[in-house]
Structure 1
Amino acid sequence: MILLGAPGAGKGTLSDWLLERYNIDTIVVGQLLRNEIVKGSRLGLEAERTMRAGGLLADEVVLQVVEPALAAKKDKDWILDGFPRKASQAVLLDKLLAQTGDSLNFVGSLKVPDEVIIDRIADRYIHLASGRTYNLRFNPPKVAGKDDVTGEPLSQRPDDDALVVRKRLEGFHKENDPLLAHYGQNVHTFEGRTSKEIWPGLVDALSSEFPRLPTRTLSKRAGIV
């Protein structure tokens, strides 16, 4: 499955909650790219320049991390977070899945007002090593400034600057309609101002589509039920 939505719409948070509830894997493209940045690879340097400027990476650059990640998850249930972001990438994803014999069974689209996203990102912190995302108001860590799992310090992303966020939102709106049109009636739309508002509808839709999707022991974090 894939979750589509603007930067800061809650894709990472909802993906984390889905992983806690269901026996599925995740592919977080942004985290894969940040790993390359930390390594200082050629791909990472290019990604860092583009992300700091609020731009979208070229399709062939993103494919360098998406293709091996999908291959590693073959025959497993997974959430793809952060790809595709435009119709041309959706076409590439279709081709990749056709080559591996996998299929895309669920497309979720998150609709959150821009002004909410801009305020939310100002309070967003991440655990760099894992990509776990927190928000000081809506989804705070148990201990201020510390990752819930490792206890390591949290930090803000360099592309979470307000001006960069506005530019990223402009780019998102330009590309999103053609992307949704590519998937057509297969798109499930979820609206809300917070991830907690969106969560029940997302779970209901998944339960309806995949009643046999295996679950884990349910998490009590953030009131998830």
Structure 2
Amino acid sequence: MRIIFLGPPGSGKGTQAHLIANKYNIPNISTGTMLRQTLTRSTHKSYELHKNIMHTGDLVNDEFMVQLINTRINQNDCRNGFLLDGFPRTILQAKSMKQCKIFVNYIIEFFASDSVIIDRIAGRRIHVGSGRTYHIKFNPPRNYGLDDITGEILTTRKDDHEEVIRKRLSNYYQHTEPVLDYYREESKYKKMKYFSVDGNRDISKIYKELINIISS
């Protein structure tokens, strides 16, 4: 089972990717998480450049991303399938996947209003040491601004500030929406199914719809 989740940041795809990957016992490959882990570990100048690009809401270049994903998909745990969360983000990346003979069964688009997206992302708080995530409105910590387990101070990612969120949304509409058109057309002729899911709704309702889609 090979699945791609596409949609703007904050549309709910990350939450659902975690749930679906656990249910079907396949790796959840989040490009955002992979980039942050890879770039944090490296001191190479090009990696530092990509790190700065991420923090300003711009896109990391296609060649770097394709190389990163190809390496990950070729690992043993992906033999029985995988879920790509947020990749491909450009037409070139989508076509590169096809050239590399990386085919998928489901393309699932998440959509949500900009106001909902900004509210979700700007309210997110992170415990750096563990990666635990909170939200000041939807999932607040027991003590304001502090991690439930360690009591350490929570932080806001640099790319979670509103001005950067708006830049990320602008990049999504410019570069990634054409990818949706590409896959809609591909799904007419290839053995893949394309679905759109309303990410404005409650998590449980979205999850139930996804299960119905994948099980059909």
SS state of the match for residue 187, structure 1? strand
Structure 1 unaligned blocks of 5 or more: 209-225
Change (3 A) 1:126 1:188: farther
CA distance in structure 2 between the partners assigned to 1:37 and 1:140 by the alignment: 28
Q: Which amino acid aligns with 2:163?
A: L
CA distance in structure 1 between the partners assigned to 2:140 and 2:201 by the alignment: 13
Would the aligned equivalents of 1:13 and 1:195 in 2 still touch at CA under 8 Å? no
Give the fraction of aligned pairs with identical amino acids, expressed as a percent. 35
Residues 1:202 and 2:210 aligned together: yes
CA distance in structure 1 between the partners assigned to 2:142 and 2:22 by the alignment: 16
CA distance in structure 2 between the partners assigned to 1:41 and 1:146 by the alignment: 29
Q: Which residue of 1 aligns with 2:42?
A: 40
Q: Which amino acid aligns with 2:5?
A: L
Q: Which residue of 2 aligns with 1:77?
A: 81
TM-score (structure 1 length as normaliser)? 0.78
- CA offsets 1:26-64 (integer angstroms, 9 cap, x no match): 111111111122213325312211011211111012123
TM-score (structure 2 length as normaliser)? 0.81
Q: Which residue of 1 aligns with 2:28?
A: 26
Q: Which amino acid aligns with 1:123?
A: G
Change (3 A) 1:40 1:105: same
SS state of the match for residue 207, structure 2? helix
Would the aligned equivalents of 1:127 and 1:147 in 2 still touch at CA under 8 Å? no
**Following superposition of structure 1 onto structure 2, how do residues 104-115 of structure 1 map, counting pairs within 5 Å?**
104-115=104-115
Residues 1:95 and 2:95 aligned together: no
Residues 1:52 and 2:60 aligned together: no
Shift of the alpha carbon at 1:108? 0.6
- CA offsets 1:151-197 (integer angstroms, 9 cap, x no match): 98754321111001101101111123310111114321001314514
Would the aligned equivalents of 2:12 and 2:199 in 1 still touch at CA under 8 Å? no
Would the aligned equivalents of 2:97 and 2:103 in 1 still touch at CA under 8 Å? no
RMSD: 2.6
Residues 1:117 and 2:110 aligned together: no
Q: Which amino acid aligns with 1:187?
A: Y
SS state of the match for residue 198, structure 1? helix
Change (3 A) 1:69 1:170: same
Would the aligned equivalents of 1:86 and 1:176 in 2 still touch at CA under 8 Å? yes
Q: Which amino acid aligns with 2:214?
A: L
Q: Which residue of 2 aligns with 1:221?
A: none
Q: Give the length in aligned residue pairs.
A: 203
CA distance in structure 1 between the partners assigned to 2:111 and 2:34 by the alignment: 25
